[in-house]
Amino acid sequence: MSHSASAQTTTPPGLKTYKGSCQCGAVRFEVDFDPSQGTTRCNCTICTKTAWWGINVKPAAFRLLSGKEVLGDYSRSEASHARFCKVCGIRAFGHGHIPEMGGDYSAVNANCLDGADLSGIQVTYLDGLHDTWEQLAVAPYVSPFSAAMRA
């Protein structure tokens, strides 16, 4: 299956619509996201073991385009649901309600965005392991695969 050459289209200033999918393409989605708002990495066991890199948005900013019938749901509590493709196993997005994170949320795995270059985007590291959601560190993302890193 081929992906479009452009992973994003422009919407209101700062906000972009990104397309994403699982590895096999059975699950496809769109998310409206302002890169200046940054991303998150959590140290809980599920996020650490699946290399989750989260883009957190309000539920209205996320749209599942296809694959509802192949979605699995893993949750350690009612507060958070990790949705994954039952065909290829990729954890593409999630949703839930965590008061410390602003209530209802949807989240996509930045690693599942099709063709997006997120070099330099802010990553906030959170303590989900102890359910405090305390900010542990903030750093810009540097892709080890970018052209600048290979030069």
- pLDDT digit of tens for each residue in the chain (151 aa)? 333 334 554 445 689 999 999 999 999 999 999 999 999 998 988 889 988 999 999 999 999 999 999 999 998 777 788 899 999 999 999 999 988 778 899 999 999 999 888 888 999 999 989 988 889 999 988 887 766 555 5
Contact residues for 108 (Cβ-Cβ < 8 A; gap 6+)? 18, 20, 29, 31, 33, 54, 55, 57, 62, 92, 93
Q: Which domains does the chain have, with CATH numbers?
A: 8-141 (2.170.150.70)
